Structure 1
Amino acid sequence: MSETAEPPSHAEQILELKRQWAELPARHWQLLRLAPLATERGTGARPLRFAELTRYERHSPTLSVLRLSVQLPAQLLHREQNVLEVWLDHGLRTLEFGPASGLQVEPSNRGLGRFLAAQGILWAQQRCGHYQVLGGDFAAKDSFDENLRKHRDHLLEALGFTVTHDDLTPVKGSYSAALVSTLQGEWNREKVQQVSLLDAGKMLQQADQSLAEQSIKLRQKDQQLASNLRDEGALRFTISSLVVFCLFQAALLLWMIVS
């Protein structure tokens, strides 16, 4: 009599799907415009920047995932930086944010963290507003700097999370929320703007036209400078000739007097 293999448990199915989906490539890309902001003491200069938003989502009857990542030109990041994951467990009807190390955004204080979280919330609300949100504890390393802690707490509260801290140890804390529908998928649209392909093409066209206009102006300036140099050369020759003539006249006059 052969033994029948037991079907994998729900937790085992979730772990297997997460393993299979861990290395899958992104399928959608979008351009982000990070507006220039005033220089801050902690972050330094905050000029105009453009970034690439990559988006990947996958669905099964058991699990759904949205993975967002942001990359800036010439930026070297660790694997879990600028990455947000949203996991929907359809069996338990829960939402869990990832990665496990927390949302780590670079450059900081440019609105990217709230933008990524808002995108994940909006995506989840379109599918399962009645799911329960799984909260979590803050990593100790993210809580020692008081200013960073206040900024993080303000961001989470603006998104609809409840933030709690240990009265005796403020660096220890956690975040929580009731249902997906209670979260707020809003971000500062002046700081972070989504740019469509058509708008990106328009921006490139305008930049190309501006470069062409600047090239024409520079060429005109070069021509004007060359003309001025020619005029200056002619003027120098005229002055030199007059000086030589004056010297000749003076020498002639002196010779006539002496003679």
Structure 2
Amino acid sequence: MNQTPPPEEPEAIDPWPDLAPEHFELLRLAPLPIERSTGQRPLHFARFGRAECNNVRQSLLHLDIRLPGQTAHGEMNRLDVQVDHQRKAIRFGKYPLVVEPQNRGLGRFLLAQGIAWAQRRWASYAVEGGELPPRDASTEESRQRRDHVLHSQGFQIDYEEGQENQVRYGATRVGALDANWNIGRVQIVDTLEAANLLEQAERSLNEQQASILRLEERLGLLRREDGALRFAIICLVVFVVFQAGLLIWIATR
């Protein structure tokens, strides 16, 4: 008797394909020394957004970072943490993380936020690993930077023997990961602190405008005094020339 093969499990469908950030915070990217590969690294402020959805089968955390004037595309500055409650497994987005500006601590920050969220409720869940694409290690410096980020957050990296381009990442469980990041590079600015910074900036701007106005008034006064002084000098020169001419005329008479 022919046995009917068991039906294949349908591919998992993302129930929230268009999830957008709902809650926002302000990030401060500290200024760092100039680096050869990335150039200048000045002070930046960024918007950090998050959104969370849950159902019986799945949970999703969407994280997003945007900088003023930055054109967002694809997966840039984005991390989706996907939780499968049936398999009790968690996947931390798609690797590699595409962050811009580079080497400013954004990759570690996004991973740390996702890890902290997952550890609060599902620390015993397994971590779903995967392969790291070769394009993420186009240079030795970028490879070391990538490995440092993953190691710092508690992920394990395995290089296939004799195959430098075949690299896998993973971890035993969510609780083994590290939810810390380099706060010397990225800080979350409290709302009241942000308001205080704006007020300080406004006061500083007003003080600068008042100082500029005083300087302009002083400059105008000096210009008027300079004009009066020039006129007086011209009159004095004319008078001296007239006196000299008069004396010459008297002497020759």
Identify the TM-score tier after normalising by the shorter chain: over 0.9
What are the within-5 Å matches in structure 2 for residues 89-238 of structure 1? 89-99=84-94, 102-238=96-232
Q: How does 1:36-47 map to 2 (within 5 A)?
A: 36-47=31-42
Instruction: Return the alpha-carbon distance in structure 1 between the equivalents of residues 137 and 104 of structure 2.
Output: 20
1:114-157 CA-to-partner distances (Å, cap 9, x unmatched) read 00000000000001110111111101211221100001001111
Residue 253 of structure 1: aligned partner: 247
Structure 1 distance, partners of 2:186, 2:209, is 31
Quote the offset at 1:42 in angstroms: 0.7
In structure 2, what is the Cα distance between the partners aligned to 1:179 and 1:116? Answer: 18
Cα distance in structure 2, aligned partners of 1:208 and 1:174: 50
Q: Of the candidates 12, 15, 18, which is equivalent to residue 15 of structure 1?
A: 12
Q: Which residue does the alignment assign to 1:85?
A: 80
1:65 aligned residue (55, 60, 64): 60
* In 2, Cα distance between equivalents of 1:41 and 1:181: 37
Question: 1:72, 1:131 → 2: CA distance?
Answer: 33
Deviation at 1:169, TM superposition (A): 2.6
Instruction: Please tell me whether the aligned partners of residues 143 and 172 of structure 1 are also in contact (alpha carbons under 8 angstroms).
Output: no
Q: Secondary structure at the match of 1:65?
A: strand
Q: Given the two structures, how large is their TM-score scaled by the length of structure 2?
A: 0.93
- Aligned mates of 1:106, 1:52 — CA distance in 2: 13
TM-score of the pair, normalised by structure 1: 0.91
For these two proteins, the number of residue pairs brought into alignment is 247
RMSD: 1.6
Equivalent position amino acid for 2:105 in 1: G
User: Sequence identity, in percent?
Assistant: 43
Residue segments in structure 2 that go unaligned for 5+ positions in a row: 1-6
